[in-house]
Amino acid sequence: MSVLRAVLWDMDGTLLDSEKLWDVSLQEFAAKLGGVLSDGAREAMVGTSMAVSMDIFYADLGLTGRDSAADAAWLDVRTGELFAEGLLWQPGARELLLAVRRAGLRTALVTSTNRPLVEDALRSMGAEHFDAVVCGGETVAKPDAAPYRRALSLLRLEPAEALVIEDSPTGVAAGVAAGCTVLAVPRAAPLPAQPGVVLRDTLAGVTVDDLREIWSAAPSP
């Protein structure tokens, strides 16, 4: 029988309360271009790749003919400045990550954020807490299974040996598509009940034994 060998973590909104910082940089950029980003568009961006987010951004503001690479670079730089001012953990996330490491489980960080920003975040979180890191632009983006499959390949594990922890519909869809059980803690966007996904309001108080129970009891994706 399989046993739980690894926990695969999303970053923004799951481990870190960083979606609020993206809110700031996106609204600043919208204002720079003479607009205001709508709440619906911002919600649709959560968990997506930068390319998809830029398409949503432009459509919401009615913009055409923009240099998306240059605009994305501006957002990365500004968000990096906000990261440098201080990153906050989501409730219970740091404690659970450390407990997972103490228990001898392997870990991977699987995020849609580009690697330079992830490296900034890892300096705050501690890169030593992750055995593998998969960033935005390195595979086909979530909700495709590719980012989680890449992490599993780097860890040399099968989907049945890992638990994914996510916060967004896009990320949950990627974890399920990869064949993993998913623990979801919704933040900026609501999540429906679905096979293979366990919903919690918070990671605060969640233990490694809880993760093992969730992993073993969840219906197969």
Decide if 147 contacts 175 (C-beta within 8 A).
Answer: no
pLDDT for the residue numbered 95? 98
**131 within domain boundaries:** yes
Same domain? 147 vs 183: yes
Same domain? 25 vs 10: no
Same domain? 132 vs 163: yes
Same domain? 93 vs 139: yes
Mean confidence (pLDDT) of the chain: 93
Q: How much is the pTM?
A: 0.86
110-120: average pLDDT: 93
Amino acid at 27: Q
Same domain? 67 vs 167: no
Same domain? 74 vs 129: no
Decide if pLDDT at 220 tops 70.
no
pLDDT for the residue numbered 195? 87
Decide if pLDDT at 2 tops 70.
yes
- What is the count of structural domains for the chain? 2
User: At 83, is the pLDDT very low, low, confident or very high (cuts 50, 70, 90)?
Assistant: confident
**1 within domain boundaries:** no
194-203: average pLDDT: 93
pLDDT for the residue numbered 209? 97
- Which distant-in-sequence residues (6+ apart) come within 8 Å of 134 by Cβ? 108, 109, 110, 111, 147, 148, 150, 151, 154
User: At 192, is the pLDDT very low, low, confident or very high (cuts 50, 70, 90)?
Assistant: confident
Same domain? 40 vs 12: no
User: At 55, is the pLDDT very low, low, confident or very high (cuts 50, 70, 90)?
Assistant: very high
Q: Domain boundary residue among 35, 57, 84?
A: 84
Domain that holds residue 160: 6-17+88-217
Same domain? 103 vs 205: yes
**At 150, which CATH number?**
3.40.50.1000
Between vectors from CA 184 to CA 141 and to CA 133, what angle results, nearest 5°?
45
- Helix, strand, coil percentages (3-state) for the chain, rounded to 5, are 50, 15, 35
105-117: average pLDDT: 95
